[in-house]
Structure 1
Amino acid sequence: MGGLGSGRWFRPRERVTTQDLPQIDIRSMKKQGVLFPNYPGAFCWTLDDPLSGPMNFEIHRGSLKVEYFTDCDSQTIKLVEKIEFDSTPCHLGGERYWFLCPCCKTRVTTLFRLRDVYRCRYCHNLPYRAQNESELDRLIRKSRKLRRRLGGTGSLYEPVRQKPKGMHHSTFDQLSSNERTISLAAVKAITDKTQFFEEMGWLD
């Protein structure tokens, strides 16, 4: 669909990561301007798993009340959890807000829902997705990041021909050179892996 390198290649079953789960981020809530008492709202995820769906929340003074649903023995159960806030002063004035993890009480910006509770990534023992990456995954990710910056497509086969508006020629030349070096390394790794799987009879 998105061209070579746009999907996952021969990846075994992995641990759940921070990017695979519904999460609440206090920085995002502050940016949206919802961190004031008695503010009602909702989040909704579209993940393809039972955790998908809406989560209602209400801001109280010093805490966040969240309501969400889970399936248990073919019944839908509503869960309610209270998450406390904390704040620290910023060097240039103002305050920085934090969640206090309901389990360990550590200041964190983000909480993740796993096993029907919202906790910090340390309590859930969650790795970042980059920690699960193979060398091939890392090459594809780096290439696609550069290609997005250069206005290219998701296919590692297609060269980036046009300089984005406002980008200096020297910057474009340097980034393009880096992108092609990384993309060629990724394509070679994919080709080598495909050839190995064909020799083993693991591909039709």
Structure 2
Amino acid sequence: MGGYGSGRRSGKSTTDDMLALDVRRLQRDGMLTPGRASSRSWSRRGTEVATIQVRAAADRVTLDYRSRSNGGDWQQVEYPVYLEWTACNLGGRRAWFLCPTKGCGRRVAILFGSSVFACRHCHKLAYQCQRETDGGRAMGRADNIRRRLGWPAGIANPLGGKPKGMHWRTYTTLLSQYHTFASASWEDTAQRLGLMRQRLGSVHDALKGEG
């Protein structure tokens, strides 16, 4: 995968830190058709950062890409990922990946890439939302509402008006939700700043006592 794997973040990674290979998208794009060879690429900030070749068979896909670790030499990597198919309630079939990590084999919709594409559990990944505080989640929801209303992101920015064509009932509902989330975020920030001041005060008192 061109450009991927040259560096890693410290600490436990989240699913947002990794390249995600979604079997549902491959199926939707016809990339699981037996005999088909195709490619999947990823971009960040408008720049392509990685590409992988996918060759499909009836019971598997073969992944073919280049990878490197910690700035080392690029290595060609190729291995199969087996598929499992389940029936859908309204007809048709749905594909699943079977995690290729030895001893795993979990049935998953998404594999996450490093030197090897594997399930979230094998990479020990947390979801980004699991790292967020209640205030952080509230801020994210407030920003989602701001985007829906066409306002600039950031709860510190002033409120905008009702978007053209939006019903007043929808607007007032979103505005009420926005105030709830924004208030929760501000309260969380104030609490964290209060705790920080408390800790700084304790350190100051301890240093003063030593003097």
Fold shared by both chains (TM-score > 0.5): yes
RMSD value over aligned CA atoms?
2.6
Identity score, percent = 27
Equivalent position of 2:88 in the other structure: 90
CA distance 1:57–1:164, shift in 2 (3 Å): farther
| In structure 2, C-alpha distance between the alignment counterparts of 1:81 and 1:184, rounded to whole Å | 50
Equivalent position of 1:59 in the other structure: 56
| Offset at residue 196 of structure 1 (A) | 7.1
Alignment of 1:64-143 (within 5 A): 64-71=61-68, 74-103=72-101, 104-114=104-114, 116-143=115-142
Equivalent position of 1:7 in the other structure: none
| In structure 2, C-alpha distance between the alignment counterparts of 1:59 and 1:86, rounded to whole Å | 13
| Structure 2 residues not aligned, in runs of 5+ | 1-9, 202-211
Question: What per-residue deviation string (whole Å, max 9, x for no partner) do you get for residues 47-71 of structure 1?
Answer: 59xxx42212111221111112122
Question: What per-residue deviation string (whole Å, max 9, x for no partner) do you get for residues 88-142 of structure 1?
Answer: 111111111111111222211100113x111111222211111111223212111
> Which TM-score applies when normalising by structure 2?
0.75
Give the 3-state SS of the residue equivalent to 1:154 in structure 2: coil
Preserved contact between residue 87 and residue 93 of structure 2 (Cα < 8 Å): yes
> Which TM-score applies when normalising by structure 1?
0.78
What letter is aligned with 1:133? E
What letter is aligned with 2:66? F
Specify which of 8, 12, 25 is matched with residue 15 of structure 1: 12
CA distance 1:14–1:153, shift in 2 (3 Å): farther
Equivalent position of 1:151 in the other structure: 150
Equivalent position of 1:27 in the other structure: 24
| Offset at residue 37 of structure 1 (A) | 1.6
| In structure 2, C-alpha distance between the alignment counterparts of 1:129 and 1:85, rounded to whole Å | 27
Preserved contact between residue 163 and residue 169 of structure 1 (Cα < 8 Å): no
Larger radius of gyration: 2
Aligned length, in residue pairs: 184
